[in-house]
Amino acid sequence: MTIERIFENNEKWIAGKLAGNENYFRDLAKGQQPEFLYIGCSDSRVTAEDLMGVQPGEVFVHRNIANLVNSVDLNVMSVLNYAVRYLKVKHVVLCGHYNCWGVKAAM
């Protein structure tokens, strides 16, 4: 994978979204009201959206090493606060996976 390929893929993705709905990005810009906050690992093998079968705007996602939630981690606490207080999410999903090397490293 090259950086040029990433930009080409992005351009194709944009064109595909606009071909299916010319207002796709305008609609997304109107805001979000997800019912779920997903906290998962930064593992590169699968995205939260693929795993849950959801579309943009349907889940608020936070990923970090080993899906850690620690009260002194300002990043994860900010995400949790924003999701619950402002987005009014109804469910928080804390998702781990098999053979997580982040968990092994933390242990």
Residue 107 has pLDDT above 90, yes or no: no
Per-residue pLDDT tens for 29-80?
A: 999 999 999 999 998 888 899 999 998 899 999 999 998 899 999 999 999 9
Residue 20 has pLDDT above 90, yes or no: yes
pLDDT of residue 103: 85
Q: Yes or no: say if 96 and 49 are a contact pair by the CB < 8 Å rule.
A: no
Where in the sequence is the domain holding 24, given as residue range(s)?
A: 1-30
Per-residue pLDDT tens for 79-94?
A: 999 999 999 999 999 9
Number of domains in the chain: 2
Residue 106 has pLDDT above 90, yes or no: no
Residues 87 and 42 in one domain: yes
Active site members: 41, 43, 45, 97, 100
More confident residue, 74 or 105: 74
Residues 50 and 22 in one domain: no
| CATH number of the domain to which 57 belongs | 3.40.1050.10
pLDDT of residue 84: 97
Q: Yes or no: say if 33 and 54 are a contact pair by the CB < 8 Å rule.
A: no
